[in-house]
Chains A and B, each alone.
Chain A
């Protein structure tokens, strides 16, 4: 029961996160952020190099080939959330598996290889 509620919470949370990424991100301020602004004001912004992956299809939170700016940003947000959650689940699942295998009080759900 607790596990079911936990997944309800996680799925509900993901829906909220995807909503924010898709619907809210197009309305974000496009002004330079704090560090960018300081670099401009103090005169070291020109030392920034172009990003090594500046040509990547999702560079600067837009999807290459999607002309509508709002849609492009929103889709990039959704893709980013999916990547982050997916990689996170693999990483955190792996950490949990490490714990379960060697932990003194961990449940015995980790595969025992012998």
Chain B
């Protein structure tokens, strides 16, 4: 899903760079306002995990592979703002060090995978949490389904960018059908990996899963015990 330079014309790519910088800027502001201390190392771990698992392309159909995008995985684990930043960070490292995803297309990729896939996917996750049981399994299922949908949303993001500034004389309808079709398959893999990962963290440290905070009773700190020192 990493767009190379050239697929989308410079005007649309630059507009996407502006949107990406603005969007990630808002995420940083919101993260700085709301994050907990312990989320700093967790977010670093989540970003590293997304980087590693993005390398693990799995076959989806004849001669086609897919890999985790990680938007829902990251936003469910560390919250929407830090999660979207994690994905954007991975995309930055990939473009700068691994020649994966064009440099001028970085904004397009951030918009599709961090903002649409991450923040958009998190909205889908919240909606699913609203209708699924308030249990650990409900959280895992919501994250898996939202992850699958997020990949299709990101692929539609590419299609919209292609419709605005795509090079070549290609039928937009054909590109839409092909993108959504193959990414629905990749989305199944995304859902399985996300569900397994969120499930594993829920099993070990459910208190660390941002998207399941409502399930863990808050530790009573404060008036129950007299403060010591200062």
Contact = CB atoms under 8 A, between A and B. Distances in A.
Interface of A: 2-3, 5-7, 9-10, 13-14, 16-18, 20-21, 24-25, 28-35, 37-39, 41-44, 47-49, 51-54, 56, 58-61, 73, 76-77, 79-81, 83-85, 87-89, 91-93, 95-96, 98-100, 103, 107
Interface of B: 1-7, 28, 31-35, 37-45, 47-53, 55-60, 63-67, 82, 85-86, 89-90, 93-100, 102-103, 155, 158, 166-168, 170-171, 174-175, 178-179, 182-183, 185-186, 204-205, 208
Do most interface residues of chain B lie in helix, strand or loop, or is the interface mixed? helix
Nearest to B172: A42
Interface centre among B45, B102, B167 (most CB of A within 10 A): B45
A38 B182 contact: yes
A37 B190 CA distance: 18
B15 to A, nearest CB: 18
Contacts of B96: 53
Do most interface residues of chain A lie in helix, strand or loop, or is the interface mixed? helix
B149 to A, nearest CB: 15
Contacts of A89: 40-41, 44
Contacts of A43: 168, 170
A73 B31 CA distance: 33
B1 A92 contact: no
A110 B57 CA distance: 42
26 contacts: A10-B41, A10-B42, A24-B55, A28-B65, A29-B57, A29-B65, A31-B65, A38-B178, A47-B7, A51-B99, A52-B102, A53-B96, A76-B98, A77-B52, A77-B55, A80-B94, A80-B97, A83-B93, A83-B97, A84-B50, A84-B93, A87-B89, A89-B40, A92-B41, A95-B28, A96-B32
